[in-house]
């Protein structure tokens, strides 16, 4: 373990979470096994090997699926409030393990320690939300056109839910899905990102404690580790009625095609190309805070990260100067040190994509305002630390139309009314998160109207990132159209059934059809 890891208590955190030097990568609860190749997890913080995980083989996957399928037969019959009690206990365990799990998230993924703790808090929050929801899985009652008949709708558990998650939120997104799926009566099989496998092992260890303490069957929570081949097994498995996938648009299109080919359901939360519109009536101080955090938080590796700042020409120079000045105050370094604002990118592949984006924006005619670059030397040995960069650009640039998962912010200018700014904002393939900074009520309402932002998330006077679990999370267009977390997102994890009960002594048919015998 490196000096940085020892300084911030990573050895103790790994021990508490049950992380070993070499970990089995397949689990059906308390039962761990794997026969695949070794996945090595290196920290982007210091470039050091944290631990190893054995990948799942196809045989391991099949064993997990059989356990999940069998567990569903029992779990679906448990009353929903009782299932909610299991989720409540899981939330309590997360409170107990918040500090070590938050540290692991920060160290394995590279986000700031506060963001690591915040991600675990999201897990706790979704558990609290799901517990209350377990008593509100309601349907509808409607009047029948036939006398002495009653009609209603009810929701039943769907089955085995497959979850494919990304590295940038290695624990929270899994919990958004599982907490809701569990209270709905589903069981889950999870493939975490191969870039953050230890976070998956830690979470499985925690829920396994709860399942064991309640004498529940193996298979309610399953874990499979590996690359895209394991994902393919999930996508193509007819025993999995729903696959929830978070990641790039490219990956999401593959998932959608493979799941649709067998007429399964997919819940997709994919890439974003998020913008903040800054109108002449904006509060500049609030704009700077929202834009800078949105652009550099998690080193620009959130799907809701701010990629574009669309500024009215009358205040363009003022906002530009303020943003550039704020970037001059950023501290880049070890994310476990809470004095730093920006940590590393996940790996050197991400660094390469960052460098290519900066080169391309210049090649297309853009102007660099805040120079980027890869940091080296003491504290930057992993090769994953980069400088947050700002470039003046046009929305029509190919690189601006593309989502670069790195801290690169593009400044765009508009000259007309807010309608022009909205057209620029909507003029990309993605549709996840959006925001407008204005104190003008008409501008705000236009942005939120049917002719306004085409994104799944539209904010006024806050940035594009930092969504709460109470609202449904997701976006439109190439973001995939899925919704996770709050609101009525629970319905995707269940199957709807319409019931008609005849309590008369005759059998009238609908639409007045006569069929006499």
Active site residues: 269, 303
Beta strands at 242-246 and 306-312: parallel, antiparallel or unpaired = unpaired
DSSP 332: B
Cα→Cα distances 401→378, 398, 429, Å: 36, 5, 7
The burial class, CB within 10 Å (0-12 / 13-18 / 19+), for 166 is buried
| Side-chain-facing half-sphere of 330: CA atoms under 13 Å | 28
CA distance 426 to 401: 11
Cα gap 74→68, rounded to integer Å: 10
Give the strands of the sheet with 494-502, arranged side by side: 141-143, 149-157, 494-502
Q: Kindly tell me the sign of the dihedral angle through the C-alpha atoms of 251, 254, 257, 260.
A: negative
Q: List C-alpha distances in Å: 385 to 110, 220, 354, 445, 482.
A: 10, 39, 11, 40, 32
Q: Output the 3-class SS for 134-183.
A: CCCCCCCEEECCCCCEEEEEEEEECCEEEEECCCCCCCHHHHHHHHHHHH
DSSP 490: G
């Amino acid at each position: 373990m490196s000096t940085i890891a020892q300084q911030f208590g990573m050895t103790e955190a790994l021990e508490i979470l049950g992380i070993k030097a070499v970990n089995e990568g397949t689990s059906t609860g308390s039962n761990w096994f794997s026969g695949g190749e070794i996945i090595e997890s290196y920290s982007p913080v210091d470039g050091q090997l944290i631990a190893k995980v054995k990948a799942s083989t196809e045989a391991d996957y099949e064993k997990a699926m059989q356990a999940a399928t069998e567990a569903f037969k029992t779990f679906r019959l448990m009353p929903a409030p009782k299932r909610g009690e299991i989720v409540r206990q899981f939330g309590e365990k997360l409170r107990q393990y918040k500090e070590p799990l938050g540290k692991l998230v920060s160290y394995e993924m590279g986000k700031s320690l506060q963001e690591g703790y915040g991600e675990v808090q999201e897990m706790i929050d979704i558990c609290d939300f799901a517990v209350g929801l377990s008593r509100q899985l309601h349907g509808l009652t409607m009047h029948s056109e036939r006398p002495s008949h009653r009609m209603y709708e009810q929701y039943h558990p769907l089955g085995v839910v497959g979850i494919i998650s990304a590295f940038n939120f290695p624990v929270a997104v899994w919990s958004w899905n599982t907490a809701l799926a569990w209270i709905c009566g589903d069981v889950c099989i999870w493939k975490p990102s191969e870039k953050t496998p230890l976070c998956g092992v830690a979470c499985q260890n925690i829920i396994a404690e709860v399942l064991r303490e309640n004498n529940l069957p193996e298979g309610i929570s399953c874990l499979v580790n590996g690359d895209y081949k394991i994902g393919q097994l999930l996508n193509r498995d007819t025993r999995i009625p729903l696959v929830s996938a978070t990641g790039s648009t490219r990956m999401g299109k593959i998932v959608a095609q493979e799941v649709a080919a067998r007429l399964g359901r997919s819940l997709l939360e994919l890439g974003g190309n998020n913008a903040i519109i800054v109108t002449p009536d904006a509060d500049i101080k609030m704009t700077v805070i929202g834009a800078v955090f949105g652009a550099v938080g998690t080193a620009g590796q959130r799907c809701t990260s701010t990629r574009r700042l669309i500024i009215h020409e009358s205040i363009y120079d003022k906002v530009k100067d303020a943003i550039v000045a704020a970037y001059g105050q950023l501290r880049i370094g070890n994310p476990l040190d809470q004095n730093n604002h920006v940590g590393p990118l996940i790996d050197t592949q991400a660094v390469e994509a960052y460098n290519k984006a900066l080169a391309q924006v210049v090649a297309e005619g853009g102007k660099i305002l805040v120079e980027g670059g890869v940091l080296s030397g003491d504290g930057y040995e992993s090769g994953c630390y980069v400088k947050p960069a700002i470039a003046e650009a046009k929305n029509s640039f190919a690189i601006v139309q593309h989502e670069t998962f790195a801290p690169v912010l593009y400044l765009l200018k508009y000259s007309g009314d807010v309608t022009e700014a909205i057209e620029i904002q909507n003029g990309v393939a993605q549709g996840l998160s959006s925001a407008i900074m204005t104190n003008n009520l008409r501008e705000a309402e236009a942005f939120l109207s049917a002719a306004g932002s085409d994104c799944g998330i539209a904010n006024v006077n806050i940035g594009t990132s930092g969504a709460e679990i109470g609202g449904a999370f997701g976006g439109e267009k190439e973001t995939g159209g899925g919704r996770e977390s709050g609101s009525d997102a629970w319905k995707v994890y269940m199957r709807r059934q319409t019931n008609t009960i005849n309590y008369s002594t005759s059998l009238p048919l609908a639409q007045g059809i006569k069929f006499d015998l």
